[in-house]
């Protein structure tokens, strides 16, 4: 290979009247503004598709004659002016949700949102699946709401793999190179025009990275790229692939993301006041924030740790322990020995930050470190919060699992990204205009009942027709690439029926998602698909991880069945699932099928996207559907049962039977139950119910508001109280924590007195407790009565707590606390008393190792 002696970046040559096209192309607001998309498509519809909807590439490749023609086209210029004015109004808006809610702040915080992947648009392949798309939707909603937020991630030269299938239906992976200069990216440069670079320490050398900016509406996203000449070859390859390489590659990627991400923000004068870790990949960022604070404020590690934790948020995503990010101690030693010394920690102290006992060995867990260093942790659905509290109960010994301080903020989707143009036009006609800007308001969606059934059905049917046309064209291309015969390729024009009940299944092909469950009884499925007057068809899409052979086997099985003559018209597998394929599916399917093994689905967001397009959900009660399901808005498979792993085969049998029964007896019947006007009135009613009831809830606007109200602003305000005008309050707090931790073993509950006389419902009973606090005082603690019903083993279940007040100081470190309990129900009630630490700066009373029970 020949190395160049010079590199020149060539920009498109746009006629002056069209100059604003590049500005519009360079801001990813185009990915959710349909008028901007229409403007670029108008320039060259074919090239728009060829460039995978990339306006920067389109402007670079379009014929100069076409640009000259557009410049002289009054209709196009009027369209450009209209889009530009709308863009300017959006970018300069002074009235946003954030400003309306928090505009009185003296200084807006800098909120840094870290994620390993960001799925913003199909032309920027920097994501693998749901986690990345959620991150992208988070940034889009932050922009719409006016949040002072910045995203931080890595920029991958190859991104995630492109999927294709060989003649046997076995998944193969391609890694096409991302052409950064022809993507909506801007390299961050200093005043002299030189790329701004940061560095992180690797064994025996430094790793350098440059910073690319992706402008997502009002929200900047910073992506780090190590493929620069400053690095040796293997270090240049570090940002080649998302989730690629071995464990050594992975830890170095996460060092770059966490430590390098903080250094990138520092280099751009964007020091974060609050950091949000979307999964534990970026957890090393906390160490870098601590290091900076130690250096600047002259404090020790443990003092800085509490201050940094007070302004950090951690979102856990995986409910499967095997999916967590852990590293061997050898990799920690290799990469952090010098860093430990800079933090003032010995090896054991550093390892204790993330130590997790795996039974016969120990590993360094990024999630454990993130939990320990965050004032706020959450799962991504209510059920996932329950699963997470159970999963991480061991981190909080003696804390009842329902009180483990991990809450839940249910995921959502960015509505304007995922709603079809046709459905949006319908909503504009009949709904309150705020459905586009304040979609969390129930009132914005109430007008769905005013939409005539015929219009709603026609609109949805057109999207189904477009989906079928899209599938036929994609299938033809797939068959050509596989070397299929001409007759097979020609037959692709006849697959699927634009009027048939269409069921979609598209997601990551992890085995617990059970993609092949619908094929358990092929004879029964054959009858369902081949009904002459009530046909049904399935469209599948999704990628298996390159090393997941079981997931690949699922894909192969689907493709094998779909290729059989009796199924090929009604079952299709679309290769290379991405955001574009997802849009066609979610906007055109009638039903979205999801059948994971409960409770292994953390949230799942694909089905949420169907809500806004009239697609009904048919799912196991797992993830978000567990809290969303009502009989009026969709269908549930099972009743939320959970099975041990040893009974997975029985579980599959039972739940597949339920799937077939509901499909045959309700879904198909309801879809084809037509009146004289050929409209499925009952089905349309469910579509309206789902939109009215679910649309205000499952959006990233609502989700980002919850993060702001529950975490970002409380953490920021706590951080300001602790550190301004000086560090006195913070140091007093950290000193208090050290004192309480050192004295906690002196605390004991000496006695508890509960009136055990026979009582009736409604009676009130005094409860007193004598507590030995040792060197601590009553203002350092909360003493609580813990009460609840008893199980068969005499243990309190689903207990509740009631604060007790100081009654008397008895001397010698002894204090009497008292409360009054009122009996609300009959039966046996159990009581206990507990002591927990308390300080106004704590985000939760439940601190690891600091709870004393009677």
How many whole angstroms separate alpha carbon 345 and alpha carbon 339?
9
Residue with tokens 């008292």: 818
pTM of the predicted model as reported, rounded to 2 decimal places: 0.96
Residues in the chain where the model's pLDDT stays below 70: 1-12, 757-758
The two three-digit tokens of residue 156, written as one number: 């991958």
Smallest Cα–Cα separation from 838: which of 749, 736, 743, 750?
Answer: 736
The two three-digit tokens of residue 506, written as one number: 């598209």
Burial classification of residue 811, based on how many CB atoms lie within 10 Å of its CB (0-12 exposed, 13-18 middle, 19 or more buried): exposed
How many whole angstroms separate alpha carbon 746 and alpha carbon 736?
16
Q: What is the pLDDT of residue 8?
A: 54
The 10 Å Cβ neighbour count of residue 347 is 13
> Cβ neighbours of residue 635 under 8 Å, at least 6 residues apart?
616, 617, 618, 619, 662, 666, 667
How many whole angstroms separate alpha carbon 626 and alpha carbon 603?
9
The torsion angle over the Cα atoms of residues 284, 289, 293 and 299, rounded to 10 degrees, is -30
Distance from the first to the final alpha carbon of the chain: 74
CA 797 to each of CA 36, 289, 343, 792, 794: distance values in angstroms, whole numbers, following the listed order: 56, 40, 43, 10, 9
Q: What Rg do the C-alpha atoms of the chain give, in angstroms?
A: 29
Smallest Cα–Cα separation from 822: which of 766, 763, 767?
Answer: 763
Q: Is the dihedral of CA 608, 609, 614, 620 positive or negative?
A: negative
């Amino acid at each position: 290979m020949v190395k160049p002696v010079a590199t020149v970046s060539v920009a498109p040559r746009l006629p002056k009247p069209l100059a604003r096209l590049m500005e519009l192309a360079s801001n990813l607001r185009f990915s959710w503004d349909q008028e901007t998309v229409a403007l670029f498509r108008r320039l060259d519809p074919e090239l728009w598709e060829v460039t995978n909807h990339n306006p920067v590439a389109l402007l670079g490749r379009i014929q100069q004659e076409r640009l000259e023609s557009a410049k002289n086209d009054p209709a196009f210029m009027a369209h450009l002016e209209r889009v530009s004015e709308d863009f300017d109004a959006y970018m300069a808006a002074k009235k946003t949700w954030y400003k309306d809610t928090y505009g009185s702040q003296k200084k807006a915080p800098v909120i840094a949102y870290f994620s390993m992947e960001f799925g913003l648009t199909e032309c920027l392949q920097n994501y693998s699946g749901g986690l990345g798309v959620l991150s992208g939707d988070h940034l889009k909603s932050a922009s719409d709401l006016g949040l002072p937020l910045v995203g931080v991630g890595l920029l991958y030269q190859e991104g995630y793999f492109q999927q294709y299938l060989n003649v046997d239906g076995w998944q193969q992976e391609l890694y096409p190179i991302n052409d950064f200069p022809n993507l909506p990216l801007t390299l961050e440069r200093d005043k002299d025009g030189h790329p701004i670079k940061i560095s992180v320490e690797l064994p025996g050398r430094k790793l350098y990275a440059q910073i690319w900016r992706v402008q997502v509406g009002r929200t900047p996203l910073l992506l780090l790229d190590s493929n620069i000449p400053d690095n040796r070859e293997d270090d240049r390859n570090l940002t080649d692939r998302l989730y690629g390489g071995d464990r050594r590659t992975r830890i170095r990627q996460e060092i770059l993301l966490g430590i390098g991400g903080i250094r990138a923000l520092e280099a751009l004068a964007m020091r974060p006041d609050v950091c949000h870790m979307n999964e534990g990949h970026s957890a090393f960022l906390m160490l870098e924030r601590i290091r900076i604070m130690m250096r600047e404020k002259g404090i020790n590690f443990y003092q800085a740790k509490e201050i940094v934790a007070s302004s950090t948020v951690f979102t856990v995503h995986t409910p499967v322990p095997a999916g967590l990010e852990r590293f061997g101690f050898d990799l920690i030693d290799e990469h952090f020995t010098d860093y430990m010394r800079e933090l003032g920690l010995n090896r054991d102290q550093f390892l204790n930050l993330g130590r997790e006992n795996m039974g016969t060995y120990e590993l360094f867990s990024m999630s454990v470190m993130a939990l320990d260093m965050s004032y706020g942790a959450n799962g991504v659905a209510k059920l996932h919060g329950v699963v997470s509290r159970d999963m991480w109960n061991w981190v909080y010994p003696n804390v009842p699992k329902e009180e483990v301080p991990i809450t839940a903020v249910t995921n959502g989707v960015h509505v304007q990204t995922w709603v079809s143009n046709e459905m949006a036009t319908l909503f504009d006609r009949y709904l309150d205009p705020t459905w586009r800007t304040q979609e969390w308001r129930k009132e914005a969606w109430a007008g769905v009942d005013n939409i005539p059934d015929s219009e709603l059905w026609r609109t949805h049917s057109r999207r189904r027709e477009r989906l079928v046309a899209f599938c036929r064209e994609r299938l033809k291309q797939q068959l050509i690439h596989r070397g299929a015969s001409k007759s097979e390729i020609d037959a692709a024009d006849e697959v699927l029926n634009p009027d048939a009940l269409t069921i979609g299944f598209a997601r990551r092909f992890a085995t617990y998602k059970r993609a092949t469950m619908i094929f358990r009884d092929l004879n029964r499925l054959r009858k369902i698909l081949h009904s002459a007057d009530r046909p049904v068809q399935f469209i599948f899409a999704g990628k298996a991880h390159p090393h997941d052979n079981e997931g690949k086997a699922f894909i192969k099985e689907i493709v094998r069945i779909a290729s059989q003559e009796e199924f090929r018209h009604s079952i299709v597998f679309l290769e290379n699932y991405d955001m574009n394929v997802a849009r066609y599916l979610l906007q055109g399917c009638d039903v979205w099928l999801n059948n994971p093994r409960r409770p292994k689905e953390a949230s799942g967001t694909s089905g949420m996207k169907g809500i806004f397009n009239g697609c009904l959900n048919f799912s196991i009660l797992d993830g978000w559907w567990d809290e969303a399901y009502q009989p009026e808005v969709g269908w549930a498979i099972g009743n939320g049962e959970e099975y041990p792993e040893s009974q997975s085969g029985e579980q599959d049998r039972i739940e597949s039977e339920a799937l077939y029964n509901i499909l045959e007896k309700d879904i198909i019947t309801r879809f084809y139950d037509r009146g004289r006007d050929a409209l499925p009135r009952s089905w349309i009613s469910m579509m309206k119910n789902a939109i009215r009831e679910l649309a205000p809830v499952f959006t990233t606007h609502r989700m980002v508001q919850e993060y702001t109200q529950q975490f970002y602003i409380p953490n920021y305000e706590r951080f300001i109280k602790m550190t301004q005008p000086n560090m006195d309050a913070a140091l007093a707090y950290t000193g208090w924590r050290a004192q309480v931790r050192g004295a906690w073993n002196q605390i004991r509950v000496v006695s508890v007195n509960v009136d055990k006389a026979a009582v009736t419902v409604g009676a009130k009973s005094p409860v007193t407790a004598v507590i030995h606090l040792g060197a601590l005082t009553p203002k350092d603690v909360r003493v609580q009565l813990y009460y609840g019903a008893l199980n068969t083993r005499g243990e309190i279940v689903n207990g509740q707590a009631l604060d007790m007040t100081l009654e008397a100081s008895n001397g010698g470190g002894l204090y009497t606390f008292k409360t009054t309990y009122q009996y609300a129900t009959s039966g046996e009630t159990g009581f206990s008393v507990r002591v927990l630490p308390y300080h106004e700066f704590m985000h939760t009373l439940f601190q690891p190792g600091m709870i004393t029970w009677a």
